[in-house]
Structure 1
Amino acid sequence: MAPVFPREEYAWRQSRFREALDKAGIDMCLVTGPESVCYLTGHATPGYYTYQALVFPRRAEPILIMRESEVINAEELTYLDRDRIEGYPDNIDPIEVTAKIMKSAGPLNKVGFDTRSWFLTPFQYERLLTALNPGETATVDSLLSALRIIKSPREIDAIRDAARIVNLAAKAAIAQIRPGIRERDVAATIFDTMVREGSEFLGMEPFVASGPRSGNIHATWTDREIREGEPVLFEHAAAVKRYHAVLMHTVAVGRLPDDLQKVADTCAKARDATIATMRPGVTAEDCHKACVKAIEDNGLLEYYRKRTGYSVGIAFAPDWGEGGILSLGYGQTTKLQPGMVLHAVPAIRIPGRGGVGLSATVLITESGAEILTTAEGG
């Protein structure tokens, strides 16, 4: 095992983050979101369910804290010197370890936290504040988001590779879908293709739903057999170097009833309208409004109850997206820029009847939108 990118990639990321901390007057921050820890250091493990954190002083090298048994992963996957990797035994309180390291790493006049992280509990946070007694606290979520939202060429290459795998899995799934096949058979084909073609562990499992179940959001596979005249909706991601690409697609098994065919036609128009709007300078809200208008023009707006898309990149379970960085929805005034990668994913679901979702992972370029994930043959 070795770091997935060259040393200079991580040095560049850390330098930009340090500049952001300097501008914000933050002496030190604690990063606990596994995606941001991975972004800054390369450290990646499914073991983030136990406490891990990155102490990032403004004027010193970062220190990575993790369970003692995980240290070997950090040694192999990061360029951090061994004395900047701190492992704690299972019988030691990691908050005490963190407080001790932060107190010795530099001044604590203003300390930053990624407050949207799911992996520093309120209980831990309060105990840490009591131990540190900082002069002031601040959030670094927006600082990290500003760094991560624009992908470097190396990051884009990883996403392209993930998209290649997604497309192969979609093609394999489409070829298998027919009456009598179970939803779980389709899911197995998606998993098998992704793993064999090079995907790592995923931020979230694939979704497969047929018939009336396609009207339910986030429906995973069951033993249900696919039938003639119904939609089969599937959505899956692939991960390369922890970078994800995603695709949602729906296959019509034979001829759909007229009402569901209208849903399918409307969803295709909504996807195409969204992607046509995605170019530098437009806002995330503009993209969402384009999608909503296409659905409203076809009389199905009552069945559209979601955002239109979200940023993708580094991901760990329980999600494969970067919706916390950027979503396509109302009130989202962030302007699209070259280097952003977004999953445009309109889906129209009629509960108890069925649904259709059609999507693409899209790279924003100087000239517009480049589609990375697609479902050929279905």
Structure 2
Amino acid sequence: MRKKASFFPKEEFDRRLATLRARMAELGLDGLLVSAPENIYYLTGLDHQGYFAFQLLIVPLEDEPVLITRAMERATVRDQVPWVRHEGYSDGIEPLPAPSDRSQDIVLSHDHGGEAGLRPWEMSYGVPVKGPVADSATIPVTKTLQAIHDLSLSNARLGVETTSTFFPYSIADGIIKELPQATIRNASDLVNDCRIIQSSMEIECTRQAAQLSDTMMLAAIAAAGPGVSEHEVMAAVYDAMFRRGGTYPGFIPLVRSTRTLDHEHGTWTDGRLKPRDLLFVELAGCIRRYHAPMGRLIFIGKTPSRADSIQRVCEEAMMKAAETIGPGVSAGEVYQAWQDAVDRAGLAGYTRHHCGYAVGIGFPPSWSGGGTPRGLRRGSDMQLQSGMVFHLMSWLLRSGRGDSFLSDTILVTDQGCEFLTNASRAVTVR
């Protein structure tokens, strides 16, 4: 019997599914169409990169969920999530015909009960071939509609993740047009609302990711210095990431120097660090798809004269935000605590769109899930709860009084705020 690849036991997924279904019942939904890879992972444990092609989890209120992927993902689904009913669609060649003379055929696969005969490997499903091939939407739409019909949901009230990056319009439109009797409702945040509070097993993954983040950051700092290329700094980050047991993160580590500091989501170039450069490093260790982002600003060659004073402001603002964090506090209150500290320091004209955002499960291209993350934003009434995890940020770049940047992963607990990443926040020069 194959060992299940998922770290979490089936009981954990049963609990998550029960929580989701309770919320579906509250909203009067008979079924939910889940397409975000983070949400499919949360509900099933499916961890692969095949989500670049259409995949969908259909969650009925009572019956067994159905996972739809390309047929070539059969072995992955079999090994990782054997408790989920799988329906595969082929967007390439059809199976080869039965052999006319078995004695003359060769066996290309041993996984067919010992039968002889020429058989296609599952990877052949999904390989485009010359000649007429159906458009990329038709086959997955047909497979999805069949599964919806089999679950008796054709006339039901269905929730859909309408804002999901991974639910192409051509497929979504094709499905909805063929369900004229169904009631379609936007349920983009339904699974997100469930997974924003991490269980004890999830928190343990996040703690491990945070330890990895600290190691990666220390490796980046140790590698930096005048004359060092940004490539070398990034290589040190990746070396630490993988040697310490991490996996690929949902977002590439950000390594930028002075000339690209304003490139909000840019990362390393082929340049070399120079004396008086700033080195911006923001990264996240990843353990079983759980992330723990953190960031630091490193001075190259020499510490600017105002570095210590602006660093104190930056850290004070972060700590005031952290002191505010706790169950029942609104995200807006946390942001305001950060802003008030900045204002008191004489930087009332300096403001940000948030001072952090929720993190957890992430697949490329994001370590916070698809779309705009749920932030600690001005005026937000989102209520913090124990078990939520945030990337807490204090960002004072181009402030007019110097530059400083600190960010860490924190956990909301019954007692308040716990820092999970803890690399030094002092002024650092290399």
- Answer yes or no: same fold by TM over 0.5: yes
Matches within 5 A, 1:35-50: 35-50=38-53
Contact 2:250 2:363 in 1 (8 A): yes
Cα distance change on mapping 1:211 and 1:262 into 2, 3 Å: farther
Select the residue among 223, 246, 258 that pairs with 1:199: 246
* Aligned residue number for residue 266 of structure 1: 313
Matches within 5 A, 1:50-199: 50-81=53-84, 84-91=85-92, 93-107=139-153, 108-199=155-246
1:220 aligns to 2:267 (yes or no): yes
1:315 aligns to 2:358 (yes or no): no
Alpha-carbon shift at residue 302 of structure 1 (Å)? 4.3
1:31 aligns to 2:34 (yes or no): yes
* Aligned residue number for residue 336 of structure 2: 289
* Unmatched 5+ stretches in structure 1: none
Larger radius of gyration: 2
Alpha-carbon shift at residue 279 of structure 1 (Å)? 1.5
Contact 2:216 2:285 in 1 (8 A): no
* Aligned residue number for residue 243 of structure 1: 290
- Is the partner of 1:141 in helix, strand or coil? coil
> 1:321, 1:62 → 2: CA distance?
25
Alpha-carbon shift at residue 102 of structure 1 (Å)? 0.6
User: For residues 251-273 of structure 1, what are the alpha-carbon distances to aligned partners after superposition, in whole Å with 9 as ceiling and x for unaligned?
Assistant: 22344334555543332222222
Cα distance change on mapping 1:156 and 1:128 into 2, 3 Å: same
Q: Would you say how many aligned residue pairs link Structure 1 and Structure 2?
A: 376
- Is the partner of 2:397 in helix, strand or coil? strand
1:333 aligns to 2:387 (yes or no): no
Q: Which has the higher helix share?
A: 1
Contact 1:304 1:349 in 2 (8 A): no
Identical pairs, percent: 33
Alpha-carbon shift at residue 38 of structure 1 (Å)? 0.5
> 2:232, 2:181 → 1: CA distance?
55
> 1:180, 1:118 → 2: CA distance?
41
> 1:184, 1:302 → 2: CA distance?
36
Alpha-carbon shift at residue 32 of structure 1 (Å)? 0.3
Name the structure, 1 or 2, with higher relative contact order (CA <8 Å, separation 6+).
Answer: 1
> 2:345, 2:72 → 1: CA distance?
56
Alpha-carbon shift at residue 60 of structure 1 (Å)? 0.2
> 1:293, 1:253 → 2: CA distance?
31
* Aligned residue number for residue 22 of structure 1: 25
Moved more, 96-105 or 316-325: 316-325
Q: After TM superposition, where is structure 1 displaced by more than 6 Å over at least 4 residues in a row?
A: 351-354
* Unmatched 5+ stretches in structure 2: 93-133
TM-score (structure 2 length as normaliser): 0.82
> 2:267, 2:235 → 1: CA distance?
12
TM-score (structure 1 length as normaliser): 0.93
Cα distance change on mapping 1:277 and 1:103 into 2, 3 Å: same
- Is the partner of 1:246 in helix, strand or coil? strand
Alpha-carbon shift at residue 337 of structure 1 (Å)? 1.2
